[in-house]
Amino acid sequence: MNLTIENILLIGSILLFISIIVGKTSYKFGVPTLILFLAIGMLAGSDGIGGIHFNDPKLAQFIGIVSLNFILFSGGLDTNWSAVKPILKEGIMLSTLGVLLTALTLGTFVYYITDFTIYESMLLGSIVSSTDAAAVFSILRSKNLALKSNLRPTLELESGSNDPMAYVLTLAFLTLVINQDLSILSIIPLFLKQMILGGIGGFAFGKLSEIIINKIKLGFEGLYPVLVIALMFITFSATDTVGGNGFLAIYICAVYLGNQDLIHKSTILKMFDGMAWLMQIVLFLTLGLLVFPSQITPYLGIGLLISIFLIIVARPVSVFLSLMFFKMKIGRRFYISWVGLRGAVPIVFATYPLLAGIDKANIIFSIVFFISVSSVLIQGTTLSNFAKWLNVALPDKVKAIAENDRYILNLPKSAMEEVTILPNSFAVDKRIIDLHFPRTAFIVMIKRGSTFVRPGGSTIIEANDILVLLLDNEESLKEVNVILDQAVLV
């Protein structure tokens, strides 16, 4: 079946519906949802029962890049800086040195067991060198794993920030495969340019985006998530245009925004959480359609061998060497090694050799696909068991609420107070977002004369308003009173 304008929406919506329904029940059988999305795409493809012919790596790459924008941005928004800050150095080492060591270790192994050139081997190692944000975020949050000692923030920070490094290595070694007369030292300027401009672009656009979101008056709450989507794509495209790493930029931008006071922040977080799930499904369905199982079968043996080496040797070696200067229990190190999930990102990166037309592009794509599938099946289904075996899991009775529900955690629940706004108060004619209340104080209702106003970030405070506050403690109330200046308790 060929995709046409007339049937693409029907087919796409049916596949999406099936994926959601099947995904909802998948964990009863211990199967990660992402594998099922991929399987549905393969069944619908040319070699499957659906017979849909899709063989367009360029379109698949475009869909992959758009999807990764949403997935990385959503992961960044859900990253709590206070939780990440204590393990920032470990996360950076894993997402840079760890990725490099994985690529080099696996590339060397591939070189000795195949007829690949050294650059082709390193290209394959680079493509699968990063842990996959979509897989890690999805599986950790779906299983609601509660882990000890900042382990979960470490894993999410690594998976959200290591794709840029893998992307740079992939481009660098692809360039060396195409232009074999170039020196390996020639990739150093590319690496520095990508990472430095990506970091600067992410922080700069984060600051700019915060100003735009909070200052612009759109009038409709539903437009603010749309505004953030526009800012996300501007951040990625502008950074990429000047030679920086767009993936790094949008992740840094999202982490910054996620830890600021934004108008309609709860709405923005919920929308991006839903969009991240949608993009994961679309991405895996697309990659499933792109794959021809009949072409992968001849490489199952070599694919399995490389995958086992990656899981058992390359990933643990890179983790232990990257973290050798940090104090960390050996159980944590082994668990970080095991959560080296490969998913859609390596498959997306594997489309670059296909589009470049190098000799072994199809072989690389087939091996990468098998590595990704086997990684999610083997590691993804055993995360809970390994957490218990290595004693890094918290007991069920003390499990924390999922990190992407932190906008609920921000609602303090210890005490309720009412504060009246006097005519000479600092708060008069100010928006709630501009008051910068402490995170331990939350306005749940505004009494305005005989009416009640539901507060939002853009709500203007008026004289004689009575703010109904939820507070953590007495100190929170003192901070609020300092901000409101002349405000007094009712």
pLDDT tens across 142-156, in order? 656 667 767 878 887
Task: Name the domain boundary from 404, 426, 455.
Answer: 404
pLDDT at 246 over 80: yes
- Shared domain check, 435 and 381: no
- Shared domain check, 194 and 101: yes
Q: List the one residue out of 441, 435, 443 whose CA is nearest residue 476.
A: 441
Which residue range(s) make up the domain with 439? Answer: 411-489
- Shared domain check, 165 and 255: yes
Tell me if 306 sits within 8 A of 346, measured CB to CB.
Answer: no
Task: Name the domain boundary from 379, 404, 429.
Answer: 404
- Shared domain check, 378 and 435: no
Task: Name the domain boundary from 369, 404, 439.
Answer: 404
- Provide the whole-model pTM: 0.77
- Shared domain check, 415 and 400: no
Q: List the one residue out of 150, 142, 160, 159 whose CA is nearest residue 384.
A: 142
Q: Which of 184-193, 218-227, 414-423 has the lowest mean pLDDT?
A: 414-423
* Residue 477 is assigned to a structural domain of this protein: yes
- Shared domain check, 475 and 396: no
Q: What's the pLDDT score for residue 1?
A: 55
- 408: exposed, middle or buried (C-beta count within 10 Å: 0-12, 13-18, 19+)? exposed
Cα torsion 125, 130, 131, 137: sign: negative
Kindly state the percentage of the chain with pLDDT values over 70.
Answer: 85
Q: List the one residue out of 215, 262, 224, 220 whose CA is nearest residue 436.
A: 262
410 Cβ neighbours under 8 A, 6+ residues apart: 439, 442
Q: What's the pLDDT score for residue 473?
A: 67
- Shared domain check, 341 and 480: no
Number of domains in the chain: 2
- What does pLDDT average to over the chain? 82
Q: Helix, strand or coil for residue 443?
A: strand
Enumerate the H helices of 27-180 as residue ranges: 33-44, 57-77, 81-84, 88-93, 99-113, 118-127, 133-143, 151-161, 163-178
- Shared domain check, 149 and 41: yes
- 482: exposed, middle or buried (C-beta count within 10 Å: 0-12, 13-18, 19+)? exposed
CATH code, domain with 456:
3.30.70.1450
Tell me if 380 sits within 8 A of 135, measured CB to CB.
Answer: yes
435: which DSSP letter? H
Beta bridge partners of 2: 53
pLDDT at 238 over 90: yes
pLDDT at 52 over 80: no
The token duo for 422 is 């006097």
- Shared domain check, 429 and 301: no
What confidence tens digit (pLDDT) does each residue in 358-412 have? 988 999 999 998 898 888 888 877 887 888 888 887 665 444 444 444 444 444 4
- Shared domain check, 173 and 35: yes
Q: What's the pLDDT score for residue 99?
A: 94
